[in-house]
Copies of this chain bind each other. A is one copy, B any other.
């Protein structure tokens, strides 16, 4: 009955994830820049003031940081054939996939920075130093994980100070915004300081965002983006949570990060909102009315499932908020409150919870999927359920309520064939949820 909805859901998910592949996103962005350069498509250009684009004869250096750095650098190297004077990749251990011509490839610590983070970042600064001329370009490719991979303590601070203060803050109950204010002011490259050092080099920053809401000063700690936090914020946080540190750290926090940068242009080339927009487009191409409810959902997974199923019921009851056939899209990073010792992930838990809410309804499918293809410690990317899921579970002697209490969504969905399995996708912009009704 719901087979065609299920097929359509998978098509939409595939198209959405494809839109945020590092390779595709980088190549698409570079071709848009080239298009501007040759006057083909002014409106597709980088940002205001960049109509010069990449001019032949100038030096272009590529610095790629983050978990997707190797893939992004490889794509840039292919896209800018022969125009690159050099490049450097800093990615997580195990995330590089071989040699890229003209590039140094480094692997370093994540989620805690290590000595390799420092060495690779020092090497990046050396290479940038050689290019510091107004007519040269730095293509900065940023992806999630960059905070720990690209790090250099500022004057008077050591790597162990950073690790120690960060650990104290994590235990103190400080918010992530508060922690970031301190971390940025302890660093030589975070909070826009890297781009400041590189001045007058022109920096084009292409960002694959794994942060809900795409806060550019937060993704990889914003090495080339004006900092929204202040020295005052950082010092206040240290006092508020009574964080102990050597005098060098407190002195360092007194120095302000840049609040504006006129040598940088930034574009988000992949993010959850890009994936959601692509899902909407795919749904519309398949003949559905489509709407994006949110791209910043961060509530509990099972409650998100209950909420989305309540929206699905409303479509069935009164053909609102949008008319059938419809796809309602949400993006986010939900959380699981672990109470049991079962196997699952936030997307599978969301889907199983939603199955209770739409039990018995026809022509409704709800899917939730991790865009990186790995939901929790499982081989599944997520789950896809319909109005018959709870009945099918019951046929297997499985009660959804008990499964949720034990956080064992994986085995339940597996038993009834309602897992989504994609394998690792090579990108990560968090989670995509779909409600399909016809």
Q: Which residues of A contact B (CB under 8 A)?
A: 213, 273, 291-300, 303-304, 306-307, 310-311, 313-314, 317-318, 320-321, 332, 357
On whether the beta carbons of A299 and B291 are closer than 8 Å, the reply is no
Contact among B299, B321, B332 for A292, CB-based, below 8 A: B321
In the complex the two chains form, is B293's CB within 8 Å of A303's CB? Answer: no
Question: Is B294 in contact with A303, judged by CB distance below 8 angstroms?
Answer: no
Kindly state the separation between the CA atoms of A273 and B213 in the bound complex, as whole angstroms.
32
Q: Whose C-beta in chain B lies nearest to the C-beta of A315?
A: B294
A209 to chain B, nearest CB (A): 12
A103 to chain B, nearest CB (A): 35
- The listed residue (B299, B306, B311, B317) touching A298 by CB distance below 8 A is B306
Known: A292-B314, A297-B310, A298-B306. 18 other contacts (CB 8 A): A273-B317, A273-B318, A291-B320, A292-B320, A293-B314, A294-B313, A294-B314, A295-B314, A296-B310, A297-B306, A299-B307, A300-B300, A300-B303, A303-B303, A303-B304, A303-B306, A307-B307, A321-B321
Contacts of A293 in B (CB 8 A): 293, 311, 314, 321
CB distance from A228 to the nearest CB of B (A): 11
What is the chain B residue whose CB lies nearest that of A360? B177
Question: A306–B292 Cα gap in the complex (Å)?
Answer: 17
Supposing A213-B313, A300-B300 touch, asked if A295 and B318 sit within 8 A by C-beta, the answer is yes
Which B residues lie within 8 Å of A213 (CB)? 313, 317
- A345, chain B: closest CB distance, angstroms: 18
Question: Max chain B CB contacts within 10 Å: which of A298, A306, A311, A332?
Answer: A306
Instruction: Tell me the complex Cα distance, A437–B295, Å.
Output: 17
**Across-interface contacts of A318 in B (CB, < 8 A):** 273, 292, 295
Q: A291-B321, A320-B291, A321-B291 are in contact. Are A307 and B297 (CB under 8 A)?
A: yes
Which of the listed residues A273, A293, A299, A303 has the most CB atoms from chain B within 10 Å of its own CB? A299
Chain B residues whose CB sits within 8 angstroms of the CB of A299 once the complex forms: 303, 306-307, 310
CB A217 to nearest CB in B, in angstroms, measures: 14
Residues of B within 8 A of A313 (CB): 213, 294, 296
Measured CB to CB, the closest approach of chain B to A319, in angstroms, equals 11
Q: How far is the CB of A92 from chain B (nearest CB, A)?
A: 29
Q: Which residues of B contact A291 (CB under 8 A)?
A: 320-321
Specify which chain B residues have a CB less than 8 angstroms from the CB of A292 in the assembled complex.
Answer: 314, 318, 320-321
Rounded to whole angstroms, the CA-CA distance of A294 and B306 in the bound complex is 11
Which of chain B's residues have a CB closer than 8 A to the CB of A295?
Answer: 314, 317-318
Complex CA distance for A320 and B280, rounded to whole angstroms: 12
A313 to B297, CA, bound (A): 9
Give min CB distance, A429 to chain B, whole Å: 15
Cβ contacts under 8 Å, A303 to chain B: 299-300, 303-304, 306-307
| Alpha-carbon distance A411/B67, docked complex (angstroms) | 45
Q: List 30 A-B contacts (CB under 8 A).
A: A213-B313, A273-B317, A291-B320, A291-B321, A292-B321, A293-B293, A293-B311, A293-B314, A293-B321, A294-B307, A294-B310, A294-B311, A294-B313, A294-B321, A295-B314, A295-B317, A296-B314, A297-B306, A297-B307, A297-B310, A299-B303, A299-B310, A300-B300, A300-B303, A300-B306, A303-B303, A303-B304, A303-B307, A304-B307, A321-B321
